[in-house]
């Protein structure tokens, strides 16, 4: 019989414990599929005595994850520690230098050091697999790196953060305010005590940087991505989107343009009849626009112990089979640098919501400023203002006005709105949401 693949695993949190359980449960099937047994033989974690619901007695304990990574008694190393620094970085580096293939779910580590680690894996002719780092159980990395190896991809976009998708779903369905929904998400464990990394778009940006590298052959660089979170989204925007046939999602988008690769994360209006608009709650989804085939949308759980463990075990199985591929789909030395594309150059349709001063000439002034910047309106909706407060004269309050534009540039829209604000025909700052073609 072929010798088993002996695995060392660092990090025994929810995902790590689920990996151990899944391999135990699927032991016979994995042996058949891989042509050899897969065995976790040694582990490392911060606490040895913690009850994780798994049998620890049969597993060799190694206190230092870096020591485990270089242990001659293992063939492959699984890093589930997290974080972009040590000990995760040191452990992965040690394993690769020792000639051991690595599986990681660590998006932060890959976003910051992915190219460096890929070069190390290539030098030592071992695998660096990271399916679980993006989209949880969705097999997006293998799809891009292997399944679509013969297709040119024009655009990839998706819902990559379950917290934000859950909040936008609840706000839309139940009319909850952003703050109310955030508190509920924190209570249910979908949002952290400090939710800024999720709701401000940075988690999505890290994942998008990995997908963009796999898709377009560019270096992983979250700093090259325009990032905007969901904190400005209100129930008024969600209601207006619904009436206009749209839904609002936080999307990560990477698209090939004449000016290079445009990478952006921001709230986005998508048509309600599109596949991505149907993805609700904490679910993730990725859509790929590839040459010669209709768009492909992959949908699945983006987080959770067993969902992430599923992707980790699939990567381990590839190593057991002897599958080796350049981590980012091509030699790391051939990955190109992608500069941050100025959003002023972005082209597309826009949703604009503003509070217009209720006086003669306001609508004409707004239309004039848009026309001066060659912005054509697809639709315009004027809502009735609420009842006057405190005896104010009826009809003198600001009137919500919602405009959907045809394709134009970000620069033109922002200049037109700045001119409208200088004209003092609107109250406060206008809301601006980009529309993504589906």
- Per-residue pLDDT of 334-371, as tens digits, reads 999 988 888 888 999 999 999 999 889 999 999 999 99
pLDDT digits over 146-161, tens only? 999 999 999 999 999 9
Judging by DSSP bridges, how do beta strands 128-129 and 101-104 pair with one another? Answer: parallel
In eight-state DSSP terms, residue 376 is P
Domains 5-137+322-332 and 344-435 share a fold: no
Domain boundaries, the chain: 5-137+322-332, 141-301, 344-435
User: What average pLDDT does the segment 16-31 reach?
Assistant: 97
Q: How far apart are CA 68 and CA 432, in angstroms?
A: 51
pTM, two decimal places: 0.94
Q: Which CATH architecture has domain 344-435?
A: 2-Layer Sandwich (3.30)
Which CATH code, of 3.40.50.1580, 3.90.45.10, 3.30.360.10, 2.102.10.10, is assigned to 141-301?
A: 3.30.360.10
What pLDDT sits at residue 195? 97
Residues 419-425: contacts with CB under 8 Å, at least 24 apart: 419/369, 419/372, 420/354, 420/365, 420/366, 420/369, 423/365, 423/369, 424/357, 425/356, 425/357, 425/359, 425/361, 425/362, 425/365, 425/366
pLDDT digits over 185-220, tens only? 999 999 999 999 999 999 999 999 999 999 999 999
- Do the Cβ atoms of 273 and 246 come closer than 8 Å? no
Indicate which residue of 100, 112, 207, 249 is catalytic. 207
Q: How far is CA 189 from the centre of its chain?
A: 19
Which CATH code, of 2.60.40.2480, 3.40.470.10, 3.40.50.720, 3.50.50.60, is assigned to 5-137+322-332?
A: 3.40.50.720
- Do the Cβ atoms of 412 and 406 come closer than 8 Å? no
Specify whether 437 is catalytic: no
Q: Which residues contact 1 (CB under 8 A, 6 or more apart)?
A: 36, 37
Residue 194 burial by CB count (10 A; 0-12/13-18/19+): exposed, middle or buried? Answer: exposed
């Amino acid at each position: 019989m072929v010798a088993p693949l002996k695995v060392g695993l660092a990090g025994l949190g929810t995902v790590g414990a689920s990996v151990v359980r899944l391999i135990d449960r699927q032991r016979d099937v994995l042996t058949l599929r891989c042509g050899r047994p897969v065995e976790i033989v040694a582990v490392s974690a911060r606490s040895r005595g913690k009850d994780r619901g798994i049998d620890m007695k049969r597993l060799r304990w190694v206190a230092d994850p870096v020591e485990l990574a270089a242990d001659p008694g293992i063939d492959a190393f699984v890093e589930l520690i997290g974080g972009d620094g040590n000990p995760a970085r040191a452990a992965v580096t040690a394993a690769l230098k020792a000639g051991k293939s690595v599986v990681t779910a660590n998006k932060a580590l890959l976003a910051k050091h992915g190219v460096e680690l890929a070069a190390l894996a290539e030098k030592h002719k071992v695998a660096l697999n990271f399916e679980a780092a993006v989209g949880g159980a969705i097999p997006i990395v293998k799809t891009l790196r292997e399944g679509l190896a013969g297709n040119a991809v024009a655009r990839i976009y998706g819902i990559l953060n379950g917290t934000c998708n859950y909040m936008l779903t609840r706000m839309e369905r139940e009319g909850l305010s952003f703050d109310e929904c955030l508190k509920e998400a924190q209570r249910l464990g979908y949002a952290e005590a400090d939710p800024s990394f999720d709701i401000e778009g940075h988690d999505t940006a890290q994942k998008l940087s990995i997908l963009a590298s796999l898709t377009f052959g560019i270096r992983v660089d979250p700093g090259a991505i325009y990032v905007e979170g969901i904190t400005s989204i209100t129930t008024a925007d969600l209601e207006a989107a619904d009436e206009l046939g749209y839904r609002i999602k936080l999307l990560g988008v990477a698209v090939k343009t004449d000016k290079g690769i445009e990478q952006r994360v921001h709230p986005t209006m998508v048509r309600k009849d599109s596949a991505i608009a149907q993805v609700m709650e904490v679910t993730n989804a990725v859509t790929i626009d590839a040459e010669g085939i209709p768009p492909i949308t992959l949908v699945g759980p983006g987080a959770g112990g067993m969902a992430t463990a599923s992707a980790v075990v699939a990567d381990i199985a590839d190593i057991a089979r002897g599958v080796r591929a350049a981590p980012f789909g091509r030699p790391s030395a051939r990955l190109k640098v992608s500069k941050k594309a100025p959003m002023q150059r972005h082209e597309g349709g826009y949703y604009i919501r503003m509070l217009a001063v209720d006086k003669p000439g306001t609508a004409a002034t707004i239309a004039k400023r848009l026309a001066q910047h060659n912005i054509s309106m697809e639709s315009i909706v004027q809502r009735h203002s609420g009842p006057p407060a405190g005896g104010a004269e009826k009809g003198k309050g600001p009137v919500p006005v919602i405009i959907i534009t045809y394709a134009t540039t970000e620069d033109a829209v922002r200049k037109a709105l700045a001119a409208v604000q200088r004209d003092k025909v609107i109250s406060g700052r206008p809301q601006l949401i980009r529309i993504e073609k589906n």
